[in-house]
Amino acid sequence: MDRTEQISAPSPTSRSAVSHRSPAALSSSAAAPGLAETPSIGGSPSFDSDRADDRYASEVRSAGHLIVAELEAHGVQRVYLVPGESYLNVIDGLHDSTVEPIVCRQEGGVSYMAVAEGRMTGVPGIAMVTRGPGASNVMVGVHTAYQDATPMVVFVGLIPTEQRGREAFQEFDLAGWFSTTTKKVLVLDDPDKAAEVVADAMHTAVSGRPGPVVVGLPEEILVQPTAGEVLPPRAVGIPEASAGAIVELEARINAADRPVLIVGGEDWSPRAAAVIAEWSRNMGMAVLGTFRAYDGIDHAGANFTGILGFGAAPVAKRVFDDADLHVFLGCVRTDIATDGFTIGTTQPTVVVGPDPDAQGHYGRLDQHIVTTVRALARKLHETHGPHESPGESTYTVGADGSIVDPGEGDDARRESASAATGQPGAARILAAEEPQDLPEWIREARAEFQDWRIPRVPADSASTSANSAAAGSATANSMDTGIISANSGSDGYVDMDEAFVHVRELLPGDAIITYGAGNYAGWATRFLPTHSFPSALGPRNGSMGFGIPAAVAAGLVHPERTIFSIAGDGCFLMNGQELATAVQYGVNLTVVVNDNSVYGTIRGHQDRDYPGRAVGTALQNPDFAALATAYGGLGLRVERTEDFRAAFAAALAHEGLALVHCITDPAVRSARL
């Protein structure tokens, strides 16, 4: 935690001067209209101070409405919430706002959606919840944002100030609960400081190492009038790597025989990814992705050799452990990457990232470049000359004085799609000329990794896999019933390795893939390469229930892309109710539920550590396909491997929510080696 801060309450005289207006009088006033938007980085609106002064300086509104106006000024497009009477005035401010309220079914879903939004956009994801019960439920996403270094701001409605310390209804200690897992805790005790508190929270969430900020909103403060102005977003200081630091970094790489670049974090754009990918190839480096943050660089790159963490390919571990130089970009050396601090812990190390503390880094640190991924890409662009074709846009200065990466904003979405589909765009740098002089050890590792990523299909089912596509039209006729039953020749289970042969073939290259925590996620991370950021959303802190809410947020942020969520049966039911949110807001979402009727990861630990004594891990599940239908989507139940392709194709083609419920063998909990 950076610090816990409380905005001081006004004096009793000042409070009496502002309390004469009733909540009803304030709520009858319309909320302020949205700020005029001008193009800026990341697709967010620039703050027009002249127009803001004209429209807001003399306006009297409630503190709750000013909070909403300040969120508009920061480019927030939506907030995720479960409504509560403690912050009702803020909700009222959303009525006439450009900020869209996304009403969720439980605060855990709220928090995960906010985390996903912050990860995809770089703008802090906004969660709004009420008092003790709501705050306790939102904690799971706060922990995720804190460990994953994701920008997020949580607004929590509080009891009236005068009732503090009396064990009032739903009272709790805001700082006591959240101070150890946030960057900052703020409490609004002065209506005139509403905009200031929001601007402070938004700035802290994205500065340095990103993370969550919690803002407490006492109920009576929100309805008090204020003439406070909407404030411009605070500029974020981004350190720039010096020319000397780049020279030193490249000297270290050139002196190494087996240098490895480990990429992670969330500060990526198509342009930055392309520049970093080309630079790493030219420097003769192998590239590894880090655990559940591996979508920064296109996996089609000739020197991409795997992903570290749980379920890592043996070759990825070997490349990491055999390296004689580690360069961590946007991430640090952690217990997960090092397989419990057992591999790759002693190598000379360079860390490149925005956190001057290198929080969470283990082991040697021989050079520390405090900068962001995008800023490093710009420096490399300047150092090594232009990477774009004549007439292609270059880095420019934005309206707020910051450097604008052309790979951001709406253009980034087109660049992102082009990177996956092979169309012109940032991906042209990757495809311009594949280097022929990569070291042999990288070429061999790449070939081994590519082979490992091919699903292992049993020999006796190979013909089934080959014929299932041709038989699809006949099987598709049964989709209307929602059930594909096993026949007498079936073992009654779906082979997920073979199923992912079809997922790979049918899923578009620019799909966004989401999952929660559990062994089942290994099928996605192993068999589904990603090509552009953002393309994979998973909880790096191992939090179950993340996948479905993240998929809903992905569909809202990127409605133009296919959203695919793979879920275990245990993980799904932790936040599966957010399918109702997906349907309510028209999200196109395809879900595959791997139902093996067991908490598979923990059962695996039991079998290893307490053989023959499994207890407390078995599950009796509902009919997930029927559940999806009840929510208003398409539900399909599959009990035979040969029927999976037709079901998955039908789900992808369906507009809206579609779920494929796969019955799998409880004894099979991961992909074949």
Q: Is the pLDDT of residue 402 over 60?
A: no
pLDDT one-digit tens code per residue, 335-348: 889 999 999 999 99
Verify that 106 and 162 share a domain, yes or no.
yes
Pick from 140, 205, 177, 179: nearest CA to 539: 140
Q: How confident is the model at residue 384 (pLDDT cuts 50, 70, 90)?
A: confident
575 and 479 in a common domain:
yes
Provide mean pLDDT across the span 97-105: 97
- Same domain, yes or no: 634 and 548: yes
Q: Does 459 or 151 have the greater pLDDT score?
A: 151
Answer yes or no: is pLDDT of 391 > 60: no
- Note whether 293 and 193 are same-domain residues: no
- What whole-number distance in Å separates Cα of residue 625 and Cα of residue 572? 12
Evaluate whether 603 touches 135 at the Cβ level (below 8 Å). Answer: no
- pLDDT of residue 585 exceeding 80, the answer is yes
* Residue 671, in any domain of the structure: no
pLDDT score of 9 more than 60: no
Stretch 567-578: mean pLDDT: 91
Final residue before a domain boundary, out of 423, 445, 467: 445
Structural domain including 352 reads 246-445
- With a pLDDT cut of 70, the percent of the chain lying above it is 79
Q: What integer pLDDT is reported at residue 474 of this predicted model?
A: 36
What's the whole-number mean pLDDT along residues 501-515? 94
Confidence of residue 294 (pLDDT cuts 50, 70, 90): confident
Each residue's pLDDT tens digit, 456-485: 877 665 545 555 544 444 343 344 444 433
218 lies in a domain? Answer: yes
A 10 A CB-CB count for 464 gives 17
**Within this chain, do residues 108 and 11 fall inside the same structural domain, yes or no?**
yes
Rounded mean pLDDT of the chain? 82
pLDDT beyond 80 at 362: yes
669 in any annotated domain: no
Six-digit token string for 213: 């900020």
Residues 305 and 181 in one domain: no
Q: Does 241 reside within a domain?
A: no
pLDDT digits (tens, 9 = 90+) for 184-214: 999 999 999 999 999 999 999 999 999 999 9
Mean pLDDT for 309-329 is: 94
Among 34-38, 58-62, 68-72, 188-192, which is the least confidently predicted range?
A: 34-38
**For residue 231, is it within any domain?**
no
Helical packing angle, 440-452 and 314-322, nearest 10°: 160
Please tell me whether residues 210 and 312 are part of one structural domain: no
Q: How far, CA to CA in Å, does 576 sit from each of 433, 590, 669?
A: 45, 13, 21
Provide the CATH number for the domain around residue 271.
3.40.50.1220
pLDDT tens digits along 626-638: 999 999 999 999 9
Mean pLDDT for 503-530 is: 90
**Residue ending a domain, choose from 412, 445, 478:** 445
Structural domain contains residue 504: yes
Residues 377 and 399 in one domain: yes
Both 204 and 121 in a single domain?
yes
Is residue 26 over pLDDT 70?
no
Domain count, the chain: 3
672 within some domain: no
Q: Give the confidence band of 420 by pLDDT, cuts at 50, 70, 90.
A: very low
Residue 233, domain member (yes or no) = no
Higher pLDDT, 22 or 271: 271
Give the CA distances from residue 348 to residues 236, 353, 355, 447, 498, in Å, rounded to whole numbers and listed in that order.
Answer: 31, 17, 19, 26, 41
636 and 656 housed in the same domain: yes
> Last residue of some domain: 176, 192, 226?
226
- The Cα 151–Cα 160 span in angstroms is 28
Percent of the chain surpassing pLDDT 90 = 62
Confidence of residue 167 (pLDDT cuts 50, 70, 90): confident
Query: What's 466's domain CATH number?
Result: 3.40.50.970
Q: Strands 286-289, 184-187: parallel, antiparallel or unpaired by DSSP?
A: unpaired
Same domain, 477 and 563: yes
pTM of full prediction above 0.85: no
User: Of 396 and 664, which is predicted with more confidence?
Assistant: 664
Tell me, letter by letter, the H, E, C secondary structure of 545-592.
Answer: CCHHHHHHHHHHHCCCCCEEEEEEHHHHHHHHHHHHHHHHCCCCEEEE
Residues 362 and 397 in one domain: yes
Would you state the structure tokens that stand for residue 241, as one six-digit string?
Answer: 């790597």
